[in-house]
């Protein structure tokens, strides 16, 4: 029975259905329980939050990632699925703490100074939370001083920096330099991403990792966390 509800959660993540009012990406599913209703029911049945995340939410987003890479899904589709996962995580977070489950690590994410774009960052944030990390999102247009202050105060294991413009991605390097100047660079691993960013550019500014998309960002963080 538990496998049935986990399978339904996964299916509804793939369909981008937050609740019963959503039709789903393929349509015709309105009136059926969505991810939020199914997650609440799974908790009420006594299912482990970890099982819900791994076998329902993460499994669903893995399929979404495959569809995105195969160009079967586009950004609006991925956003719909990510929104469903985010809604489910809001329900699960209190239960994660109560069950004594330890997060994998803490991550601060920010879109750098001068850049107001946040779709990619928001997707990464939801995927990382679904993968078991605590994520603090500083928002958009964040200058290096604010990033340094957040790293000093929050003491995260990771820092994710995003930029969508070639004119703003240089701020990533400035943020890393500011961490060095404040003797904080060795305390945090920096992952960068965004449309104009490349692995070569990430290396050139001294970043620890590069995520071409939200799914790759999670893989990079997981790999760094294991070392």
Using the predicted structure, report yes or no on whether residue 131 has a pLDDT greater than 70: yes
Fold assignment, 2-98: 1.10.1240
List residues bridging with 190 in a β-sheet. Answer: 159
Question: Tell me: the pLDDT tens digits for 80-93?
Answer: 998 899 899 889 88
Question: pTM of the prediction?
Answer: 0.77
Using the predicted structure, report yes or no on whether residue 141 has a pLDDT greater than 60: yes
Contacts of 117 by beta carbon, 8 Å cutoff, 6+ apart: 111, 140, 162, 163, 164, 165, 194
Q: Is the dihedral of CA 118, 123, 124, 126 positive or negative?
A: positive
Q: How confident is the model at residue 55 (pLDDT cuts 50, 70, 90)?
A: very high
User: How far apart (Å, rounded) are the C-alpha atoms in residues 93 and 89?
Assistant: 6
Domain ranges of the chain: 2-98, 106-225
3-class SS of residue 158: strand
User: How far apart (Å, rounded) are the C-alpha atoms in residues 12 and 30?
Assistant: 11
Instruction: Please give the CATH number for the structural domain made up of 106-225.
Output: 3.40.50.280
Express as a percent the part of the chain with pLDDT over 70. 97
Q: How confident is the model at residue 94 (pLDDT cuts 50, 70, 90)?
A: confident
Q: Do domains 2-98 and 106-225 have the same CATH topology?
A: no
Quick one: pLDDT at residue 100? 67
Question: Tell me: the pLDDT tens digits for 188-197?
Answer: 999 999 989 9
CA 4 vs CA 9, 13, 56, 61, 111: distances in Å: 9, 14, 10, 18, 39
H or E segment and range at residue 146: helix 144-154
Using the predicted structure, report yes or no on whether residue 3 has a pLDDT greater than 80: no
Using the predicted structure, report yes or no on whether residue 98 has a pLDDT greater than 80: no
Cβ atoms 132, 169 nearer than 8 A: no
Using the predicted structure, report yes or no on whether residue 1 has a pLDDT greater than 60: no
Please report the beta strands in the chain, taking only residues with DSSP state E, as ranges in sequence order.
106-111, 134-137, 158-162, 189-193, 209-211
Write the DSSP string, 53-86. IIIIIIHHHHHHHHHHHTTSS-HHHHHHHHHHHH
Longest dimension (CA), the chain: 56
Pick the range with the lowest mean pLDDT from 1-5, 129-133, 173-177.
1-5
Quick one: pLDDT at residue 99? 66
Question: Tell me: the pLDDT tens digits for 171-189?
Answer: 999 999 999 999 999 999 9
* Nearest CA-CA partner of 222 in 84, 99, 62, 63: 62
Q: How confident is the model at residue 120 (pLDDT cuts 50, 70, 90)?
A: confident
């Amino acid at each position: 029975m538990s496998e049935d509800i986990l399978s339904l959660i996964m299916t509804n993540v793939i369909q981008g259905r937050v609740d019963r009012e959503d039709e789903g990406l393929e349509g015709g599913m309105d009136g059926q329980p969505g991810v939020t209703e199914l997650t609440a029911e799974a908790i009420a049945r006594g299912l482990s939050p970890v099982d819900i995340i791994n076998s329902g939410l993460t499994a669903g987003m893995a399929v979404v990632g495959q569809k995105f890479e195969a160009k079967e899904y586009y950004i609006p589709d991925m956003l719909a699925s990510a929104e469903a996962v985010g809604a489910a995580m809001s329900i699960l977070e209190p239960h994660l703490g109560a069950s004594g489950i330890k997060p994998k690590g803490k991550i601060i994410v920010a879109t750098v100074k001068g850049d107001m774009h946040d779709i990619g960052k928001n997707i990464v944030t939801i995927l990382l939370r679904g993968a078991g990390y605590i994520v603090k999102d500083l928002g958009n247009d964040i200058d290096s001083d604010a990033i340094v202050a957040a790293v000093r105060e929050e003491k995260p294991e990771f820092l994710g920096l995003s930029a969508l413009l070639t004119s703003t991605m240089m701020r990533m390097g400035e943020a890393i330099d500011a961490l060095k100047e404040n003797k904080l660079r060795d305390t945090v691993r920096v992952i960068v991403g965004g449309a104009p960013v490349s692995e070569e550019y990430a290396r050139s500014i001294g970043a620890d990792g590069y995520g071409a998309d939200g799914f790759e960002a999670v893989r990079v963080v997981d790999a760094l966390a294991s070392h």
